[in-house]
Structure 1
Amino acid sequence: MGLAIACVACMAMFLMASGVASQNGWDNAFATFYGDMSGKETMQGACGYGDLFKQGYGLKTAALSTALFNDGLTCGACFQLQCVNDPRWCAPGTITITATNFCPPNASKPGNNGGWCNPPRKHFDLSMPMFTKITKDYHAGIVPVRFRRVPCIKKGGVRFEIKGKPDWILVLVYNVGGAGDVKAMQVKGSRTGWITMTRNWGQNWQTRRHLLGQSLSFRVTTSDGKMVQSDDVAPANWKFGQVFEGKQF
């Protein structure tokens, strides 16, 4: 019993730290789906993630509307969703997804005419397999849901994919546990101090320091203020396009 109470308290603290706590930590939104049951059209794009299956996200993903996407700062965050208030279409149970893309507004279809991702609407565009886990039939098309932020549970460590060119290093950070969404990144070469990186787009972080020929260490800070430092993740002979694994939250 004591452990259960402690877990509830931890969840409440996480939701407050993530800035999304409302009544009982839940908020209201709507959900649609894209593609078909094959998952071949799994969305990528606005967060900078590449192959979602290779990176471990798979079909448990969603594109977020403007109100939730927060210009990419929400990329990597995890949400629990449940279909509500629609007995005809809602199925019992919940799903947990990771935010991996942006659902753009559609100015030509205002309000309830199909502009589901238009501000200020809170909306999740799910893969069809995930949509059908919370609905009785995909023909529902769009359903009301309630959602809340939850900690991300990821296998393995935080991963760093190094891209760019000699005088411009771009690092995609993914597979981030805990809060999931990264708010700050630092890199350290074996011949430098800690260098603050700037967010380029999605979860791609950049620096214009020349770091070739140096082993690299990273500090990752998530939206709840927690930081993980991974020392000498990339060896001195690292190359562009390689992926390295660090510690996990």
Structure 2
Amino acid sequence: MATVGLSTALFERGAACGGCYEVKCVEDLKYCLPGTSIVVTATNFCAPNLGLPADAGGVCNPPNHHFLLPIQAFEKIALWKAGVMPIQYRRVKCLREGGVRFSVNGRSFFLTVLISNVGGAGDVRSAKVKGTVSGWLSMGRNWGQIWHINADFRGQPLSFELTSSDGKTLTNFNVVPKDWDFGKTYTGKQFLL
């Protein structure tokens, strides 16, 4: 599945990361490939160019709803020489293989966790962590789907409670073992569709 950069109007300061969209080219009989669509995952930010008008080069400027597609994805719905094309898009469920991944980083006094490969809605709107010493503690969004908390969890197995944008909650108990280490990724259960 291709990844995509979203304009400011769609990116929601990183909250939309992980969400899946079906995209198709419309209204241009010369360059659109009729009857085709692709599903993409939001992973990047398409930065605005406020020095240019939204309709003349500033395609990612507010209020535009713009998808910055890689060439390989774009060529599945339109001819590459077309450049910027009108599209239709809609949110769709993310179909993922395997479980949710928790990539743990940080230092002794803080923890950051990249939460990826999330099925269902695809995007995590809130995250909580629990060690053996603490109760459930809310994590803050660092950027995209990187979550952080100022706490020392070394030597404790970690559990995570995730809530997606569609309101579903998934709890992964002791998904990170007590002998975990920074720089490692651990796999838990997946959201059910």
Q: What TM-score does the superposition give when structure 2 sets the normalisation length?
A: 0.96
Distance 1:94 1:143 in 2: 13
Which ranges of structure 1 fall in alignment gaps of 5 or more residues?
1-56
Ranges of 4+ aligned residues in structure 1 off by more than 6 Å: none
Question: What do the CA deviations read for 1:130-170 (whole angstroms, capped 9, x no partner)?
Answer: 000001x2000111000000000011000000000011000
**Superposition pairs for residues 211-230 of structure 1, below 5 Å?**
211-230=153-172
Structure 1 equivalent of residue 189 of structure 2 = 247
Distance 2:150 2:58 in 1: 39
Match of 2:17 among 55, 58, 75: 75
One-letter code aligned to 1:181: D
Instruction: Specify the SS of the correspondent of 2:159.
Output: strand
Match of 1:115 among 58, 74, 91: 58
Structure 1 equivalent of residue 176 of structure 2 = 234
One-letter code aligned to 2:135: G
One-letter code aligned to 2:148: Q
Structure 2 equivalent of residue 132 of structure 1 = 75
Structure 1 equivalent of residue 111 of structure 2 = 169
Structure 2 equivalent of residue 54 of structure 1 = none
Aligned pair in 2 of structure 1 residues 111, 195: CA closer, same or farther (>3 Å)?
closer
Structure 1 equivalent of residue 44 of structure 2 = 101
Checking the alignment, whether the CA contact within 8 Å between 2:54 and 2:62 is kept in structure 1 is no
One-letter code aligned to 2:44: N
**How many residues were matched structurally?**
190
Deviation, structure 1 residue 190: 1.8
Match of 2:139 among 191, 197, 201: 197
Percent of residue pairs bearing the same amino acid type: 48
Higher helix fraction: Structure 1 or Structure 2?
1
Structure 2 equivalent of residue 143 of structure 1 = 85
Which ranges of structure 2 fall in alignment gaps of 5 or more residues?
none
Q: What TM-score does the superposition give when structure 1 sets the normalisation length?
A: 0.75
Distance 1:153 1:243 in 2: 20
Deviation, structure 1 residue 87: 0.1
